[in-house]
Every structure is written in structure tokens, then in C-alpha cells.
Amino acid sequence: MGEWSHKDDRKGLESYPVNSEYDIVRARQTARELSKQFGMGIVDQTRLTTAVSELCRNMYEFAGGGEIIFETGDLDGREALMVSFVDEGPGISDLQLVMQDGYTSGKGMGFGLPGAKRLVDDFLLESEPGKGTIVQIAKWV
């Protein structure tokens, strides 16, 4: 796990609630635009956009929605785009289990967390059962 700049040292870019499938489309469009704007190559743009799409859908499917926050900050001293997914859903009781490849929630859909993690440079997962979940991803620009 890398060294992330403190929340106060990050610059907010965009944030909005994710409450519908259209918001998932909007979130990946924002991810694409920002990663392009910050000079990422086409493959990294696609990686970040896909990770955002996966994590947004997770939040929508399992927590009924939440908020997405796009920021820029430092990861190990290098500028990175950071995206946070904050929900007040049921939370995750076994964090290790959901990070296993091939784990599914029983709806026949994978949580997609390990897949999304592979697409970015750093990944933080915090959750409290009954309170909610925060997933943060960062990708160097």
C-alpha cells in the first residue's frame, strides 16, 4: 500500500451521487475525460474508466447507491488521480473474502474488487458492517 496524500492536501475535481445506471455511465465519462485531461495514455485511460465503472456498479448494486468523488493528490510523492466511492450500505464483513478472485455475491455477479484493483496503482478498502463502505483508487498521471 502506497503513501497517500492526506485528504486535506488533495484537490477536489468533481463529485456527485450515484443513484442510477445513468450515473454509472456519467461516472465513466468523467473518468475518461479527467484521465485524458491529466495526460494519461489510452491504455491507462481505459484501465481507470473500467475500474470506475466496476466500482460504481458494485456500489449501486450492493449498497443501493452512494457518492463518487474525483480528486487529484500525491501517491508516493507522484501526482495521481484519486477516485473514492462512498456508500452507507450494508458494508462488507469479510474484506479478505471479497478480495479473492472468483468470489461472487451469490447474484451470479462478481464483486469485481480484485479485478478493479489490478487496473489501478493503489487501492484502499474500508468497511464497517451496518455502516457502509469506502473504496478509494489512485492512478498515477
Partner 1 sequence: MTEFQTEKRIPIIKMRDYLIVSIQVDMHDRLALELQAQILEEISKTGAKGVLIDISVLEMVDSFIGRMLSGMASMAAIMDAAVVIVGMQPAVAITLVELGLEMPGVETALSMEKGIEMLEMRVAGNRIEPLKRKPQGW
Q: Cα–Cα distance between 5 and 141 in angstroms, integer? A: 15
| Contact flag: residue 65 with partner 1 (CB under 8 A) | no
Among 19, 115, 125, 141, binds partner 1 (CB under 8 A): 115
State the DSSP H helix or E strand holding residue 57, giving kind and residue range, or none if neither. helix 42-63
Q: Phi then psi for 44, rounded to 5 degrees?
A: -65, -35
| Contact flag: residue 114 with partner 1 (CB under 8 A) | yes
Mode of pairing for the β-strands spanning 122-128 and 66-75? unpaired
Q: Cα–Cα distance between 67 and 47 in angstroms, integer? A: 20
Among 90, 105, 110, 134, binds partner 1 (CB under 8 A): 110
Q: Give the interface segment with partner 1, choosing from 1-9, 44-52, 73-81, 82-90 (CB under 8 A).
A: 44-52
Smallest gap from Cβ 112 to partner 1, in A, equals: 6
Smallest gap from Cβ 40 to partner 1, in A, equals: 11
CB 99 within 8 A of CB 41: no
Q: Cα–Cα distance between 21 and 25 in angstroms, integer? A: 7
| Contact flag: residue 139 with partner 1 (CB under 8 A) | no
Q: Cα–Cα distance between 129 and 115 in angstroms, integer? A: 23
Among 45, 84, 133, 136, binds partner 1 (CB under 8 A): 45
Q: Which residues bind partner 1 (CB under 8 A)?
A: 21-22, 24-25, 28-29, 32, 42-43, 45-47, 49-50, 53-54, 57, 101, 109-110, 112, 114-116, 118-119
